[in-house]
Amino acid sequence: MTHTRRLFLQRGLALVSVGVTVPTFLDSTVMAMEDPLDVKRTQRESGKDGPILVVVQMSGGNDGLSMVVPYADDAYHRARPTLAHGPKDVLKLNEYVGLNQNLTGIKGLYDSGMASVLQGVGYPNPNRSHFRSMDIWQSGIPEKEMVTSGWLGRFFDNTCAGEDPHQGVVLGESTPLAMKGEKTTPLAFDKPGNYRYKGRDAGSYTSLNQPSESSPTTKPAAMAKAAPAKLITPDSQLSFLTRTAMDARVSSDKVLSIVNGYQTAQSYPNGSFGEGLRTVAAMIRGGLPTKVYYVSLGGFDTHAGQEGRHDRLMKDLDQGVAAFWKDMKEQKNEQRVTMMAFSEFGRRVAQNASGGTDHGAAAPMFLFGPSIAKKAGIVGRHPSLTDLDQGDLKYGLDFRNVYASILQEWLKTPSKPVLGRQFEPLPIFKA
Amino acid sequence: MAKLHPMLEPFGSAPGETWDRMHAAHLLNRATFGGNDADVAEAYALGAVGAIDKLLDFPDAPVEEISQTAGPDLSGITDYPKTAADRRQLFQGKTEEEKKVLQQQIQQANNEAVREVAGWWMRRMATGPYPLQEKLAFFWHGHFTTSARDERSAWLMWGQNETLRTYAAGNFAKFAKAMAHDPAMLDYLNNQQNKKAHPNENFARELMELFTLGIGNYTENDVKEGARAFTGWAHNGEEYVFRKFDHDDGDKTFLGRRGKFDGTDVVDIILQQPVCGAYIASRLWCNFVNEDPDPAICQSLGQQLRDNNYELRPVIRILLSSRAFHSDQNLGGLIKSPVQLIVGLARQMGLDDMRFGKLRDSLKQMGQEPLMPPNVKGWPGGRQWINTSTLFVRQNTALQMIAERGAKIRRNDGANRPDEAVDAWLARLIQRPVAADRRDILVKALGNRVTDDSLRGMIGLIVSMPEFQLC
């Protein structure tokens, strides 16, 4: 029997007697702790068929023209004298565009109908500041200057009752606005190994973070005589903290045992992105009730010396995504997952004098998964390379239509309460 | 003067209200970032009135006026121009390419400078001479929010930081006007783009919604008209400038008044609204007392603010002296902000040379980096600080600080028996009674032999208790 479960069983009555509400998740999770990899048992509560969204954020402004390359357009070669990829250097999707040659795994997904390339995605009056544009993409509300919650956070607010801490999981050191709700916050850790108590006396720690069973309290000798011999701290705050600490301990045990015990034949690329995706795969396999996972790949702000740098990023992205989907297939969980990849903006059409590109506007987005409709291999027209807005591509698809598709047709939830108004879903998912 | 709400009358004026070390520690937890043994002993000896007087006795002036060497030292950061003129000079005669490289260098240096200012600030909070001034400045930082997040100049952020310090307990009317002229603020809330031809409402809206009146106490039309009054209020990268040709000097109708108002008039009209006093009082209440302000008390406190012509010091004195502030249910009822958590622990552990810069990642994970509030609402605070991930980070960060070489953990400070040592450290770090079974766990964990090592382990457990998250 695990330590946590034993404690829970020992102290269960005490918990009840002091009137602390045991979170529902603790109840079902602790009972399933015997074997966290026992999918049948751990998933009983959350519904084994619940859809999962994995968000991949390409931070820094991904050069869309080097990812989905309009190799057949002379204007592209004129604008990118040293950075352009020729017809032989791309994985052709059609007579006009091809994928960056490093995206062989993604090309495989595309060929098997599991990828959708959304061309020219953006929003009105594009902002070229990383921070502002990222806020816009993450909040889902470009019109408002200051938004305190993100689109996925509002999805949690609207749909996830209860306090299960695993509904959203961020692999990263801080929580992106996208995942922040008004009422809910996701789980966030850079590495699973940091999602634990690091003190050396775990036993005492555990006892100290249980509800107290004694009502008489001590009066620390160093306090003045007048200090009342009663518990001062408001019960509600203490029990809130105690409950969160118990949640954290159980959740940490669970996450760590799932991730540490995870075995897969797939090799993920080194670095936080690949390791993050591997952790996501492990957590999906472990049967956590998580609806959204969020991972990031940084380094896309290629103002100088872009050649080689961007290709390496493409390779990293491709290897991670490809390994993840092979893993899902092997787990037989691929039907449950859709992946979305985006960046805060694309880059200027013309390259600059430093062999790089500056902040731009519209760019491609990607969706992956077996639920992609047959006809959705390429969605939207490629933006013109000559009819530009201040040197940048004009958007043809609004990203909020993509969000609406994901919310309504994948996560099966109304998109209007999340996005503030109704956006028409695009024909991306299978009916 | 209007009559005070009974809960705002001084603590100690009714039978049973006795000033003791616990109340002294409570005062220091709320009015500073937490006190150590000596601080608590001193405040206790001074009595409530004396202790509060001492806390409030600080110059309404920027640090650099008090001491030229007390401010952050950014001289070690290379390629970082201090003024717009320096900056222009740096760029002079450079090619486009060189400018781009320079721009990136400056940006990097700026990030470094912002972090330096934040680290300096936390050290001043912990060890500076006027902890209440810093506590208030930090509160106002989350009120008149400006963030360096989108690469805002560290010099502008530092300038604003000094303004927050100068008016921390000064006159709120002057404070609000200073903030409306503050370059970092104008920049953050897009007033650079607020021009007669295309008004930008951002600053005018937040001025009323968050800084002075609260939502529901103005109309959308007031926002529009208020924004017109602030057109042309801009900065040149260094200081405030009034751009006459961008300013709309026409008639405006604002909060029921009509005239050729400019920004200063608009602030004056706002301050004449009775609700303004109560709104500011409720913000102070949430920061210093509890998260559930009683409208009647805030009404009374707000009236005091108005009766004192918006002088903050007398109102803060009333608040900190009040029966409500010192009442039992408010002792240990607030969840510490991440900054309170680490600055307070540094103070209590005697970590005078703490390099707060190395806790930057932890602060980020806990959700509070000074100078980087997430949005204009500031930090949400309260229970929002706590979830299963941040709780671990808070506990692990406290452990990391206990393990610091400079942490003053002495075996022989008069508490030699294990239970005495536990009591001494509970008094030092929790400062309130704790449940008997909790204490027993600590005594047991300490073992029969009190060594430096076992003591450190026990202290690590105290900072891992739910009680330690509260103040």
Binned at pLDDT 50, 70 and 90, residue A228 comes out as very low
Q: Is the pLDDT of residue A6 over 70?
A: no
Smallest CA–CA distance, residue B19 to chain A, in Å, is 8
ipTM of the complex model: 0.93
The C-alpha of A431 sits at a distance from chain B's nearest C-alpha, in angstroms, of: 38
Q: Choose among B423, B438, B467: nearest Cβ to A222.
A: B423
User: Chains A and B: how many Cβ contacts under 8 Å?
Assistant: 198
- The shortest C-alpha distance from B88 to chain A (Å) reads 22
Q: How far apart are the C-alpha atoms of A216 and A205, rounded to whole Å?
A: 21
Q: Which residues contact B249 (CB under 8 A, 6 or more apart)?
A: B260, B262
* pLDDT confidence band for A130 (50 / 70 / 90): confident
Confidence of residue A175 (pLDDT cuts 50, 70, 90): confident
| C-alpha distance across the termini of chain A, in Å | 46
Task: Find chain B residues with C-beta within 8 A of A189's C-beta.
Answer: 389
DSSP, collapsed to helix, strand or coil, labels residue B286 as helix
**Scanning every residue of chain B, which has its alpha carbon at the shortest distance from the alpha carbon of A233?**
B332
Say whether A217 and B433 touch across the interface (CB within 8 A): yes
Using the beta-carbon criterion (under 8 Å), do B21 and A353 form an inter-chain contact?
no
Residues of B in contact with A190 (CB under 8 A): 365
Tell me the pLDDT of chain A averaged across its residues: 86
Write the CB contacts of A309 (distance below 8 Å, at least 6 apart in sequence).
A299, A302
Contact B100 A132 (CB under 8 A): no
Categorize the per-residue pLDDT at A354 as very low, low, confident or very high, splitting at 50, 70 and 90: confident
Selecting from A226, A244, A251 the residue whose C-beta is nearest the C-beta of B386 gives A244
Chain B: nearest CA to A87, how far in angstroms? 30
Q: CA-nearest residue of chain A to B428? A: A222
Q: How far is residue A209's CA from residue A207's CA, in Å, rounded to a whole number?
A: 5
Percentage of residues of chain B with pLDDT beyond 70: 99
Minimum Cα–Cα distance from A207: chain B residue: B441
The H or E element spanning position B44 is helix B37-56
H or E segment to which residue B348 belongs: helix B338-348
Would you say residue A41 has pLDDT above 60? no
* Whether B40 contacts B31, CB under 8 Å: no
Separation of alpha carbons B337 and B343, rounded Å: 10
- Any idea which residue has 């005697």 for tokens? B350
Residues of chain A with CATH 3.40.720: 52-198+233-419
Considering only the C-alpha atoms of chain A, give the largest distance between any 2 of them, rounded to a whole number of Å.
87
Q: What is the mean pLDDT of chain B?
A: 93
The token pair that represents A158 in the structure block:
């609207």
Nearest to A197 among B20, B395, B439 (CB): B395
Task: Kindly report which listed range (A125-134, B95-104, B319-328) carries the lowest average pLDDT score.
Answer: B95-104
Interchain proximity A173–B361, CB inside 8 Å = yes
Could you tell me if A383 and A406 are in contact, meaning their C-beta atoms sit under 8 angstroms apart? no
Q: Which residues of A touch B368 (CB under 8 A)?
A: none
Using CB atoms, pick whichever of B365, B375, B466 lies closest to residue A238: B466
Cross-chain Cβ contact B391/A173 below 8 Å: no
Q: What is the pLDDT of residue B104?
A: 82
pLDDT of A18: 35
Mean pLDDT to the nearest integer, B111-121? 94
Q: What is the pLDDT of residue A36?
A: 41
Distances (CA, A) of A75 to A70, A100, A349, A400: 9, 18, 9, 29
Beta-ladder partners of A343: A58
Judged by CB atoms closer than 8 Å, whether chains meet at A132 and B150 is answered as: yes
Q: Which of A194-198, A305-309, B83-87 has the lowest mean pLDDT?
A: B83-87
Query: Phi/psi class of residue A47: alpha, beta or left (left: φ > 0; alpha: ψ in -120 to 50)?
Result: left
Global pTM exceeds 0.80: yes
Element (H, E) at B234: strand B233-235
Q: Is B438's CB within 8 Å of A201's CB? A: no
> pLDDT tens across B377-417, in order?
899 889 889 999 999 999 999 999 999 988 988 776 767 79
How far is residue B88 from each of residues B93, B183, B237, B238, measured CA to CA in Å? 10, 18, 11, 12
Q: Give CA–CA dist B228/B201, Å, rounded.
A: 8
| The pLDDT of residue A145 | 74
Model confidence band, residue B75 (pLDDT cutoffs 50, 70, 90)? confident
Find chain A residues with C-beta within 8 A of B389's C-beta.
187-189, 195, 248
- In angstroms, how far is CA B9 from the centroid of its own chain? 26
Domain spanning A52-198+233-419: which CATH class is it, in words? alpha beta
